[in-house]
Structure 1
Amino acid sequence: MGPQTGDDGLDRCPWAGVLPSPMRDYHDTEWGDRVHGETAYLERLTLEAFQSGLSWSTILAKREAFREVFRGFDAEQVAAFGPDDEERLMNDARIVRNRRKISAAVVNARATVALRDDGGLERLVLGFAPADPPTADDTDHLATTTEESKALSRELKRRGFAFVGPTTMHALMEAIGVFDPHLVGCFRRGSAA
């Protein structure tokens, strides 16, 4: 499926929908835009891990609660979480309550802090940007993993990260603008910040 024309006359990636919605707003204002800084990277990495097996709209609806309970995704604060904090999060209905994903968020915050002496999380992720970024005009031609996302997954696991499989890392790379993920014909193609 190619880009779909919305009620406003703009062509968008089909998952964004044709009517106003949180998903369309996310597509139009954020998805594929480059982010900067450790906190932004840790937030996106954490949310992509929580999204695994769920719809992105579920995560978007809970995003503010995630930001609150994970202390604005400040790596040092989350790295200091202990078993009582993880149990508190398991009892918070405002977020996705999955023990493995909650534990992974804490593990990943600790691994993020450990990366600081080696250039940091942002530098590591950007080091796996594809030399030949993917281009597609139809969703049938979109990949869910790439050699780069597989390599990033391996490197993050080697550095102690969890819940960072190749599909999740591909979604992360799309979301944070490591490459332009928009379909050819989408009004956002080539305009992501």
Structure 2
Amino acid sequence: MTAAESQATPAAPPAATGAVLCEDGLARPPWAATDPLLRAYYDTEWGMPVRDEQGMFERISLEAFQAGLSWATILRKRPAFRTAFHRFAPDTVAAYTEDDVERLMADAGIVRNEKKIRATITNARATVALRREGGLAAFVWSFQPEETPEPRTVADIPTRSAESVALSKALRAKGFAFTGPTTMFALMEATGIVDTHLVDSHRRGSSGVWPKA
């Protein structure tokens, strides 16, 4: 989920394009201003560094499932996704068979999209193969840019970058699927590789990767 996409979540009035001062005295983007689940995710998880293989594989998987849907939908289904995909353990998912595809397609708790399910299995196998080159997390982080955006409003937040285009191309060359440039920019935002917190947000600079603007 890109920050710009998440801002489209009906969690705040459409006119609210800058940071919103919430009732607890903290400033957040519109998408994290009202919904308790999205607020908790924003305050504790979104934009924090993910440097382990399993965590990065889970994020890539969920970003792929989010395509065409709201992030709130995926977040609410995340516990079911974790159960259905064995907590996104790459070795386990890489060994899935057609029986597992049928099992997942019958699971009402997740998004039952066969192409995305099969892509997740494909990506698990590609993740295992990437261990020969230092691993998935290190590979994704190698595309960290030299600078990060400093958005003051939602309109200032990009949906892709030269680095996300390059990452998309590189992952596809390694056998990954559903890793388009916009999806990869969303991944980079969610895992701290770029910081697109609004400048006035209380979370700006909280990852420790980028200084507060």
In 1, the alpha carbon distance for the partners of 2:37 and 2:57 equals: 22
Counterpart for residue 16 of structure 1: 32
In 2, the alpha carbon distance for the partners of 1:107 and 1:20 equals: 34
Counterpart for residue 93 of structure 1: 108
Deviation at 1:192, TM superposition (A): 2.4
Counterpart for residue 186 of structure 1: 201
- Given the two structures, how large is their TM-score scaled by the length of structure 1? 0.97
The residue identity in structure 1 corresponding to 2:99 is D
For the aligned residue pairs, the C-alpha RMSD in angstroms reads 0.9
Deviations along 1:37-61, whole A, 9 cap, x unmatched?
1000000000000001100000011
| 3-state SS of 1:81 partner | coil
Counterpart for residue 78 of structure 1: 93
Counterpart for residue 41 of structure 2: 26
* Structure 1 residue 111 corresponds to structure 2 residue 126: yes
The percentage of counterpart residues that share the same residue type is 53
List gaps (5 residues or longer) in structure 2: 1-16, 209-213
Contact kept, 8 Å, 2:143 with 2:163, in 1: the verdict is yes
List gaps (5 residues or longer) in structure 1: none
Counterpart for residue 176 of structure 2: 161
In 1, the alpha carbon distance for the partners of 2:146 and 2:98 equals: 42
| 3-state SS of 1:93 partner | coil
Deviations along 1:95-138, whole A, 9 cap, x unmatched?
00000000000000000000001010001100101111111111
1:58-69 matched pairs, under 5 angstroms: 58-69=73-84
- Given the two structures, how large is their TM-score scaled by the length of structure 2? 0.88
Deviations along 1:145-187, whole A, 9 cap, x unmatched?
1000000000000000000000000000000111222110000
* Structure 1 residue 6 corresponds to structure 2 residue 47: no
* Structure 1 residue 170 corresponds to structure 2 residue 185: yes
Counterpart for residue 139 of structure 1: 154
Counterpart for residue 36 of structure 1: 51
In 1, the alpha carbon distance for the partners of 2:46 and 2:137 equals: 17
**Which residue, 135, 143, 152 being the options, matches 1:128?**
143
Deviation at 1:36, TM superposition (A): 2.2
Counterpart for residue 49 of structure 1: 64
